[in-house]
Structure 1
Amino acid sequence: MTRTLAVRLDSLGDVLVTGPALRALAAGSDHLALLCGPRGRAAAELLPGVDDLLCWRAPWIDPEPDPVARDDVEDLVALVAAGRYDRAVVFTSFHQSALPTALLLRMAGVPWVGAISEDYPGSLLDVRHRFDADVPEPERALSLARACGFELPPGDPGALAVRTVVAEPSPVPYVVLHPGTSVPARAWPAEHYREACRLLTERGTTVVVTGGPDERDLTALVAGGGGIDRGGGTDLGELAGLLAGARAVVVGNTGPAHLAAAVGVPVVSLFAPTVPVERWAPYTDRRVVLGDRDAPCRGTRATTCPVPGHPCLSSVTPAQVVAAVTELGGLAAPAPSATLRRIP
């Protein structure tokens, strides 16, 4: 029996975009385990092809890391060793190093390890894949799986996907607004979301506002524009069902954008160019991406906007968002003055 360990140690969206590569690993393995971080675990539980989950907070990956503790590291090494994996594939974003993880895998006795690495890996990697192209992150991850000898199964198109999701029943069509983001630099102003909610509801469109338990004040503010507030009311699986039943979803560059793409709903992506849009826009053809891709914050990976007024997203108007929702969701035509500013 061939036992494979995949590693993706960062956040919800990062885990979701690795899904196609994980399905390739699963197709070439008898058993696939995924080592993920606590921020990505809820997404990992939704991915097809994963047989087992391990969870560990990596101090070189997590944005709010705990101090490095020897006992904690030794516990992970023991946990991986107990799995008796034949091989491991370490998935990272373009700005992360796979080598600390590879070192721990070697200490756990994993005999074969593959990863993308620009740095010299010495004896840490059996496959050192080098990949610089500006392609969507799911394709970058899949290129590593292929370099390690894995292919998607026949008939799998390589799209984002989650385990079977039942769309939440609704007597009327609805649009979802998800105003929260993992970092402030990626957030469209809350007042803009509230105004978009008002414009949509005035035209007879039902609007559902979603968010996590720590975003209830934000969702209440946005839903005050006439929407239904579901802030803090869904776990990730329930959110997937809610998104799956929507006509369109309006969301920033954050995990639920990738979840929306995975369940096949059209996405209006409000994208701050702090990371490359070519890599991180929702991986779907059913999208409109709005924002100033040439803003001064481009490529900074800033978590808090470094430019006064947050112009890359504050310049996107609620009317533009309503027009994009109308285009994707097949709703009634917006006011003639509403125009789109696209990022292909």
Structure 2
Amino acid sequence: MQTIFLKIMDTYLGPLVSVMSRPQQPRQIVKPATVLLIRPGGIGDAVLLIPAIDAIKQAYPECTIDILAEKRNAAVFDLAAGIGTVYRYDTCSGLSKVLRNRYDAVIDTEQWYRLSVIVARLVRSPVKIGFGTNERKRLFTHPVTYSLDDYEADSFLKLLQPLGITASAALRTPFLRIPEAASLTASSLLVEVGVKRFVALFPGASVQEKRWETERFVSVAARLTARGTTVVVIGGREEVAIGEEIVKGGGVNLAGRTSLMETAAIIARADLLLSGDSGVLHLAAGLDIPTVALFGPSSIAKWAPRGGGGRVVSTRTTCSPCSRYGTIPPCRHDVRCMADITADEVALSVESVLAERDGRKKKCEGQ
């Protein structure tokens, strides 16, 4: 409900305020001692923002970095080091606390919507940095160019250029750390269900168009089980029923039994993660775990995992990718880009990545 309200506010209030506001003037940037990062949205964007947080800390070790996030993604920042306070973007108390603070720089990491830049404008800070993708650029002292073709972690790193920071996400994996408590809980849970080596499978997605058919997940899980590979289904309460279907032929369903931190800790112990384009997929990328990623509406260049090895499975239909700035238009083709991905090619991709991993492990052991 909170997310829907924020989107309504953005749709009707955001453009009006952006256009009526006086354009910001560039300000000279000195060594920042305090920075606020605004990150509304889902888990994936929050995960891919963490390399930028690391880059700020590396350039300015004494800098205090606060985050303004939403309920659905705030927990992600427990996987990052060096963060001050995480405030809530979708609560009055969180916003009021941030508006009482003063920062040397505010960085709005939202890519398109306007409500976050209005918040950035209200925060007491001489420097306002963000993507100049529409009229929102009027409210920044330092608008930054955004490309739909750049890997999203690299896009976030570009926001640091006005601070004199240049960095590349490609060289910084793994960039997530697992809290000790979550690691211990995940270990105990895996011992409880009798699992050691396994493939993690996440069947969920934030939007329906990114979902792959449950029956095909069932088929892949059955094939992996037949070859002696244990399948562990992960996810939230929304994936519990799907998980039960998937593991009927063998495997373990842990969906709905773990927090986000504990889910990350389980992924960190997996041989591989199979998932569609999702926040969970980016957790695996940040942990340097191999992935087999199913891509349809989303841009492979912008969102496919880097690091850890793996495969992207996509039918590459002529109308995909169609997602722009997190929005997928109504599909006139029954989402063929996902429907045409077969269980056979996904299973083969999983088996191939596992074989490569085993081959590298044997080679290292032989040296």
Structure 1 length-normalised TM: 0.82
Aligned to 1:18: 49
Aligned to 2:309: 286
Match of 2:102 among 56, 62, 84: 84
Match of 1:299 among 304, 322, 331: 322
Helix, strand or coil: the match of 2:130?
strand
Distance 1:332 1:88 in 2: 42
Aligned length: 313
The one-letter amino acid paired with 2:354 is: G
Distance 1:304 1:211, change over 3 A: farther
Match of 1:275 among 298, 303, 306: 298
Q: Is the Cα–Cα contact under 8 Å of residues 19 and 47 in structure 1 kept in the other structure?
A: yes
Distance 1:14 1:332 in 2: 28
User: Are residues 1:32 and 2:65 paired?
Assistant: yes
Distance 2:270 2:136 in 1: 46
Helix, strand or coil: the match of 1:16?
helix
Match of 1:242 among 245, 248, 266: 266
User: Are residues 1:323 and 2:348 paired?
Assistant: yes
In the TM superposition, residue 6 of structure 1 has moved relative to its aligned partner by 0.7
User: Are residues 1:101 and 2:116 paired?
Assistant: yes
Aligned to 2:178: 164
Aligned to 1:138: 153
Distance 1:116 1:159, change over 3 A: farther
Distance 1:42 1:121, change over 3 A: closer
In the TM superposition, residue 148 of structure 1 has moved relative to its aligned partner by 3.1
Q: Is the Cα–Cα contact under 8 Å of residues 325 and 331 in structure 1 kept in the other structure?
A: no
The one-letter amino acid paired with 2:241 is: D
Q: Structure 1 stretch 102-111 or stretch 225-234: which is displaced more?
A: 102-111
Distance 1:121 1:332 in 2: 45
Helix, strand or coil: the match of 1:224?
helix
The one-letter amino acid paired with 1:260 is: A
Aligned to 1:313: 338
In the TM superposition, residue 25 of structure 1 has moved relative to its aligned partner by 2.3
Distance 2:119 2:342 in 1: 48
Aligned to 1:63: none
Tell me, which stretches of 5 or more residues in structure 2 are unaligned? 1-31, 359-367
Distance 1:120 1:109 in 2: 21
Distance 1:205 1:331 in 2: 15
**RMSD (Å) for aligned C-alpha atoms:** 2.8
Q: Is the Cα–Cα contact under 8 Å of residues 176 and 209 in structure 1 kept in the other structure?
A: yes
Aligned to 2:24: none
In the TM superposition, residue 146 of structure 1 has moved relative to its aligned partner by 2.2
In the TM superposition, residue 160 of structure 1 has moved relative to its aligned partner by 5.4
Distance 2:334 2:350 in 1: 25
More helix by share: 2
Aligned to 1:119: 134
Aligned to 1:265: 289
Distance 1:266 1:332 in 2: 9
Aligned to 1:2: 33
In the TM superposition, residue 151 of structure 1 has moved relative to its aligned partner by 4.5
Distance 1:137 1:255, change over 3 A: same
In the TM superposition, residue 173 of structure 1 has moved relative to its aligned partner by 1.7
Aligned to 1:42: 75
Distance 1:303 1:226, change over 3 A: farther
The one-letter amino acid paired with 1:12 is: I
The share of aligned pairs that are identical, in percent, is 24
Q: Is the Cα–Cα contact under 8 Å of residues 251 and 268 in structure 1 kept in the other structure?
A: yes
Helix, strand or coil: the match of 2:216?
helix
In the TM superposition, residue 327 of structure 1 has moved relative to its aligned partner by 1.7
Structure 2 length-normalised TM: 0.77
Distance 1:206 1:129, change over 3 A: same
Q: Is the Cα–Cα contact under 8 Å of residues 131 and 140 in structure 1 kept in the other structure?
A: yes
Q: Is the Cα–Cα contact under 8 Å of residues 18 and 138 in structure 1 kept in the other structure?
A: yes
Q: Is the Cα–Cα contact under 8 Å of residues 235 and 263 in structure 2 kept in the other structure?
A: no
Helix, strand or coil: the match of 2:139?
coil
In the TM superposition, residue 262 of structure 1 has moved relative to its aligned partner by 1.0
Distance 2:170 2:275 in 1: 27
User: Are residues 1:150 and 2:165 paired?
Assistant: yes
Distance 1:180 1:319 in 2: 20
Runs of 4+ in 1 over 4 A off after TM superposition: 120-123, 300-305
The one-letter amino acid paired with 1:318 is: A
Q: Is the Cα–Cα contact under 8 Å of residues 187 and 252 in structure 1 kept in the other structure?
A: yes
User: Are residues 1:220 and 2:244 paired?
Assistant: yes
Helix, strand or coil: the match of 2:79?
coil
Aligned to 2:90: 57
User: Are residues 1:193 and 2:217 paired?
Assistant: yes
Distance 1:117 1:325, change over 3 A: same
Tell me, which stretches of 5 or more residues in structure 1 are unaligned? 59-71, 334-344
Instruction: State the Cα deviation string for residues 281-325 of structure 1 (Å, max 9, x = none).
Output: 123251200022224353145658724553212222222122111
